[in-house]
Structure 1
Amino acid sequence: MFTGIVEELGEVVGVERRGDATRLTVRGPVVAGDAHHGDSIAVNGVCLTVVDVSGGDFTVDVVAETLRRTSLDKVEPGRLVNLERAMPADGRFGGHVMQGHVDGTAVFLSREPEGLTHFAFPPELGRYIVEKGSIAVDGISLTVAGVTAEEFTVALIPTTLRLTTLGRAEPGDRVNLEVDVLAKYVEKLAGVHLRGASVDNGVGKEDA
């Protein structure tokens, strides 16, 4: 599990295409400092498993499903990425509950001088994005400042702009989105009961 507090801005230093998968080597001395084979590290919000560590670099494999759903499909050497180690059981909970399971990608639209930043999101994720709710953008825990049918806005503080990839984003860039997992569970659990209530109410009206 992650909380969306980026620990380090890393750099992709190696990309090896392996059929449908890709092996990435990332330079991140902070997160690699105590990393071991099998550990989980979030790379731009994508939970990946460490397969090798060498000095300040770590290597991960990205499978076809992950490439299809995330912006890592176009990653090249030199790209900067947000890095976060999995949260320890006794760690401080700084952001919100995140799994590192990306739901889709959004498009960076613009950033206003005061930090308000606008993204266009895919329609199927709109029902999970609510004003003042939590959302992860490239692995950063953020609060939704506003939302319309097609866009959402977050307010980025100078520290976030300086220490993460969002401070370097350009209009048209794709970013990874992870919506609030609690909302997805609530929707699935409540949906069964709501559909049942709808059927029951409909039958009652027809009988009447």
Structure 2
Amino acid sequence: MFTGIVEERGTIVAREDLAEAARFTVRGPLVTSDAKFGDSIAVNGVCLTVVELDDGAFTVDVMAETLRRSSLSDAQSGAAVNLERAMPAGGRFGGHIVQGHVDGVGTVVSIAPSENWTVIRIALPQTLRRYVVEKGSITVDGVSLTVSSVGVDDGRDWFEISLIPTTLSETTLGSLSDGDIVNLETDVIAKYVERIAGPHAANSAEGK
């Protein structure tokens, strides 16, 4: 489990494409300082398992399902990525519950900077819109954020996040441009509530 509090910006130093998979080597001196074989590290919000460690870098294998659902399918050597180690059991819970299981990708629609914050609007898949609510939590490229607004334009669902200068400078979100693809993980609690309440809602609709 993670909390969406990015610890450092790492760099993909190598990518090897395999049969229905890919192997990435990522430089991250902080997250590898105490890492061991088999540990979990979130890379742009994707929970991945360390299979090799070498002088401040770690290697992970990414299966086809993960590539299909996330922006890692297009990630190349030299790209900056957000990194976070799994939260220790006795650690401070700084963000929200983040599993590192990306639900899908969104597209940056607009970026509106101001003196003290920047508002980024992101279009999201229609299948995820019911889990995204104003003032709720969402993970964008591994960063725990609060949804500041939601809406629909021309049949396209979107949400907005308001970022302070520290978030912009300490994560990859400060380098986003219109049209960029980002990984999205919605609040897992909403999905569990929907699963549990679904049968009761259906029975009520049928008058049972």
- TM band (smaller chain): over 0.9
CA displacement 1:123-181 (0-9 Å, x = unmatched): 11000010000000000000000000311000000001001111001111100000000
Preserved contact between residue 33 and residue 55 of structure 1 (Cα < 8 Å): no
CA displacement 1:75-132 (0-9 Å, x = unmatched): 1000000000000000000000010000000001221122111101111100001000
Preserved contact between residue 104 and residue 183 of structure 2 (Cα < 8 Å): yes
Give 3-state SS (helix, strand or coil) of 2:200's partner: helix
More helix by proportion, 1 or 2? Answer: 1
Cα distance in 2, alignment partners of residues 182 and 64 from structure 1 = 26
| Letter of the structure 2 residue corresponding to residue 125 of structure 1 | L
- Give the TM-score of the pair, scaled to structure 1: 0.95
Q: Are positions 1:75 and 2:93 aligned together?
A: no
Cα distance in 2, alignment partners of residues 166 and 110 from structure 1 = 13
Give the match for residue 160 of structure 2: 153
Cα distance in 2, alignment partners of residues 200 and 162 from structure 1 = 54
| Letter of the structure 2 residue corresponding to residue 75 of structure 1 | A
Give the match for residue 37 of structure 1: 37
| Letter of the structure 2 residue corresponding to residue 157 of structure 1 | I
Q: Sequence identity of aligned pairs in percent? A: 59
In structure 2, list runs of 5 or more residues that go unmatched: none
Specify which of 110, 127, 130 is matched with residue 130 of structure 2.
127
Cα distance in 1, alignment partners of residues 180 and 16 from structure 2 = 22
Give 3-state SS (helix, strand or coil) of 1:73's partner: helix
| Letter of the structure 2 residue corresponding to residue 111 of structure 1 | I
In structure 1, list runs of 5 or more residues that go unmatched: 202-208
- Of structures 1 and 2, the larger Rg is shown by 1
Cα distance in 2, alignment partners of residues 137 and 103 from structure 1 = 11
CA deviation after TM superposition for structure 1 residue 200, in Å: 2.4
Cα distance in 2, alignment partners of residues 43 and 194 from structure 1 = 37
Cα distance in 1, alignment partners of residues 44 and 18 from structure 2 = 21
Cα distance in 2, alignment partners of residues 38 and 73 from structure 1 = 22
Preserved contact between residue 111 and residue 177 of structure 2 (Cα < 8 Å): no
CA deviation after TM superposition for structure 1 residue 30, in Å: 0.2
Specify which of 108, 127, 139 is matched with residue 136 of structure 1.
139
- Give the TM-score of the pair, scaled to structure 2: 0.95
Give the match for residue 92 of structure 2: 92
Q: Which runs of 4+ in 1 moved over 4 A?
A: none
Give 3-state SS (helix, strand or coil) of 1:200's partner: coil
| Letter of the structure 1 residue corresponding to residue 119 of structure 2 | L
More strand by proportion, 1 or 2? Answer: 2
